[in-house]
């Protein structure tokens, strides 16, 4: 019997009107079309303290980190839309990855159990002309460094204020197809690699 494939989808922004939240929601439809199960989470619901090894050794991992780690472990693929801050990853997403990379009691130090063998696809959008493309290289390098296979296909949508309509859909049909095609590819590669 084949294992059911589950994709965890999130944006690297907790901003209420985040364009990247809109983008990842557009992409989710592409993944769902393949029949996989998709869980969307908002980091507003997983507020994690700024990582500090003292916090970890004094009190163990915070509950929100344990919840986030459990979600990562329970999904085989990650669909991520990340804003670019000063040419790089947002501190919100880096903080979440850093916390999740830490072992739980009883786990070996670098087991990276949330990440090893998982598959990810990356998207970005921003008001700028490059759409956050430069940041994606950094997100890719970080994830690949902790054992995640990041599919080569990625998309950065420029001019975010013009790109989305009132309902959060992409105005450009070609962009929509491309974004959903990447999510579909993620679902297919995840299914293949996680059997």
| Measured distance CA(45)–CA(173) in Å, rounded | 31
Given the complex with ligand FNR, which of 19 and 46 has the nearer CB atom? 19
Question: Helices 91-100 and 63-73: crossing angle, nearest 10°?
Answer: 80
| Measured distance CA(25)–CA(9) in Å, rounded | 8
From the CB of 105, what's the least distance to ligand FNR, in Å? 34
133: which residues sit within 8 A by CB, 6+ positions away? Answer: 84, 124, 156
Given the complex with ligand FNR, which of 130 and 193 has the nearer CB atom? 130
| Measured distance CA(64)–CA(47) in Å, rounded | 7
From the CB of 21, what's the least distance to ligand FNR, in Å? 6
Q: Six-digit token pair at 24? A: 């990842």
From the CB of 131, what's the least distance to ligand FNR, in Å? 7
| Measured distance CA(152)–CA(135) in Å, rounded | 15
Pairing of strands 37-40, 77-81: unpaired
CB atoms within 10 A of CB 177: 13
Interacting residue ranges for ligand FNR, rule: CB under 6 A: 11, 13, 15, 18-20, 83-87, 126-128, 132, 160
From the CB of 71, what's the least distance to ligand FNR, in Å? 20
From the CB of 90, what's the least distance to ligand FNR, in Å? 8
Given the complex with ligand FNR, which of 14 and 64 has the nearer CB atom? 14
| Measured distance CA(14)–CA(47) in Å, rounded | 9
Given the complex with ligand FNR, which of 125 and 180 has the nearer CB atom? 125
Given the complex with ligand FNR, which of 5 and 93 has the nearer CB atom? 93
């Amino acid at each position: 019997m084949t294992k059911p494939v589950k994709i965890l989808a999130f944006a690297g922004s907790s901003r209420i009107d985040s364009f990247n939240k809109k983008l990842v929601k557009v992409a989710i439809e592409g993944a769902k079309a393949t029949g996989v199960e998709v869980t969307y989470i908002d980091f507003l619901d997983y507020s994690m303290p700024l990582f500090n090894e003292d916090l970890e050794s004094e009190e163990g991992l915070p509950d929100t980190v344990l919840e986030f780690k459990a979600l990562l472990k329970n999904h085989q693929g990650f669909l991520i839309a990340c804003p670019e801050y000063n040419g790089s990853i947002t501190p919100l997403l880096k903080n979440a990855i850093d916390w999740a990379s830490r072992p739980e009691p009883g786990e070996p130090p670098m087991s990276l159990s949330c990440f090893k063998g998982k598959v990810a696809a990356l998207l970005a959008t921003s008001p700028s002309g490059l759409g956050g493309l430069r940041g994606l290289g950094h997100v890719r390098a970080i994830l690949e460094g902790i054992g995640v296979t990041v599919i080569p296909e990625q998309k950065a949508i420029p001019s975010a204020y013009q790109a989305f309509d009132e309902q959060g859909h992409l105005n450009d049909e070609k962009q929509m197809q491309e974004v959903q095609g990447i999510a579909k590819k993620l679902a297919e590669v995840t299914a293949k690699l996680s059997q």
